[in-house]
Amino acid sequence: MAELDDINDQSLRNIITENYSDSKADLVDFVVSLQDEKSTDTIVLYMQRLAWLGKHFDPLADDPQPSILDEEKQENFSLEDYLLYAEKAASQRNFEGGQRSRDRFKYLTYLSLKHYFRIKARQDKLKELPPSSAIDKPESATDNTSLSEAEVEDLVEAADSLKMSLGVAMCFSAGLRIGELLWLSPSWIDTAGKKAIEIEIPTHRAKGAKYEPDIVFLERKFEDKLKQFILQSYDCEDHEYSEFLEKLAEDEIEERPVFVFSGSSSDEETALQDRKDKEYAALKRERQRFNDNLEKIADKASLNSDVTSHTFRRSIIKQIKEDSDISTARDLVGRHNDISTTARYVEDDKEEDKDTYTDLRSSS
């Protein structure tokens, strides 16, 4: 059985000991088994859902009987009832994102259980779970909205802050995921390249199982604004950027992500740099704020109000695919282990490119 010290990431150990020590699920074994497969952020999402279940019952028990269900459902509780359990719990929670967040809650609960049973080698439990095709995916997982480069430029111009305009530009130009943007730290950024700015995303912040950092490229035209924004976020506007980097390298300045808020909320005084479990609450809250602001500036720019942070990745992947091919789109911005995942971002011409996708997938 895995021990707490077997978990590589200190923040994950802190979350378990400080928040989920009473969970009936074996979170330590769960995290240790996933840490070489998934990013830290993904593990936290799964762990939170599994820990939530584990506070009410043992997922591996033959007769869990969670108290939140009606009495007639508690008796002979089966795995098919897990979704009902998650659905009822979701309906009782106040989600900022509405139905999309409730669907996400249920979907992640299902995925966490699936991984847990696989890790525990409980094929009997896995067989009782509904197939993934029967699970409603959150809207963000099936959003087909895409924008042209001109429309993205309209959004950048409509943004009411440097942070928002730069965030939009970087999600599109570099194909950053929202989590990667919010974790972005100065040490990831290399402005020394001749043609483009290089952003090196550490393996524990990249999505999926990565054995080396992801490299993405940002257009050189954003360099001055990016440096200005970083200096502002660190309250170092009186410094030259090179001087700021020197102090950062010498630990005279503590490094932290630059795209997250550093203020406080009414119910929880926190910032991402506070670490431990609070940083994930801050990340989730900032992602929602980013998307809320996107809706406002999309309305201001007279664009589709369904635009989310993920829209920009879909848009740039589609644009690169049209200019070259799906393989190039995967290598430059998609960064998916399986090219068929990149292909799902491209809705147009799906049937005529089906054979191409299959050939690329088999050769990748």
Residue with tokens 């249920």: 106
The span from the CA of 122 to the CA of 120, in Å, is 5
Q: What percent of the chain has pLDDT over 70?
A: 70
pLDDT tens for residues 202-250? 887 777 666 788 888 899 999 999 999 999 989 999 999 999 999 988 8
pLDDT tens for residues 101-110? 667 777 888 8
Given the candidates 3.30.70, 1.10.260, 1.10.287, 1.10.443, the CATH classification of the domain at 149-309 is 1.10.443
- What does residue 151 show for φ and ψ, rounded to 5 degrees? -70, -35
The residue that leads in pLDDT, 54 or 364, is: 54
Query: Residue 15 pLDDT > 80, yes or no?
Result: yes
Sign of CA dihedral 302, 303, 307, 309: negative
Cβ distance 312 to 329 under 8 Å? no
- Over residues 193-198, the mean pLDDT reads 84
Cβ distance 25 to 59 under 8 Å? yes
- Over residues 309-325, the mean pLDDT reads 81
If you average pLDDT over each of 126-135, 163-172, 210-219, 321-330, which comes out highest? Answer: 163-172
Predicted confidence band of residue 164 (pLDDT cuts 50, 70, 90)? very high
If you average pLDDT over each of 186-195, 267-276, 318-327, which comes out highest? Answer: 186-195
pLDDT tens for residues 258-272? 887 444 343 444 444
The residue that leads in pLDDT, 290 or 11, is: 290
The residue that leads in pLDDT, 23 or 363, is: 23
The span from the CA of 86 to the CA of 263, in Å, is 33
Query: Residue 325 pLDDT > 60, yes or no?
Result: yes
Please tell me the predicted confidence (pLDDT) of residue 338: 65
Cβ distance 147 to 315 under 8 Å? yes
Please tell me the predicted confidence (pLDDT) of residue 244: 92
Q: What is the DSSP letter of 3?
A: -
Alpha helices, H only, the chain? 10-19, 27-34, 40-54, 71-74, 82-91, 99-119, 123-128, 149-158, 162-173, 178-183, 223-233, 241-249, 276-300, 309-323, 326-329, 339-344, 354-363
The span from the CA of 5 to the CA of 32, in Å, is 10
If you average pLDDT over each of 39-43, 200-204, 344-348, which comes out highest? Answer: 200-204
Query: Residue 111 pLDDT > 80, yes or no?
Result: yes
DSSP code per residue over 91-120: HTS--TTTHHHHHHHHHHHHHHHHHHHHHT
Please tell me the predicted confidence (pLDDT) of residue 352: 36
* 3 state SS of 217: strand
Q: What is the average pLDDT value for the chain, to the nearest integer?
A: 76
The residue that leads in pLDDT, 62 or 213, is: 213
- 304 residue type, one letter: N
Please tell me the predicted confidence (pLDDT) of residue 355: 36
Domain boundaries, the chain: 4-141, 149-309
The span from the CA of 140 to the CA of 33, in Å, is 27
- Neighbour count for residue 330 (Cβ, 10 Å): 24
The span from the CA of 244 to the CA of 242, in Å, is 5
Query: Residue 155 pLDDT > 80, yes or no?
Result: yes
Phi-psi region of 175 (alpha: psi -120 to 50; beta: other; left: phi over 0): left
- Over residues 52-66, the mean pLDDT reads 74
Query: Residue 137 pLDDT > 50, yes or no?
Result: yes
Q: What percent of the chain has pLDDT over 90?
A: 17
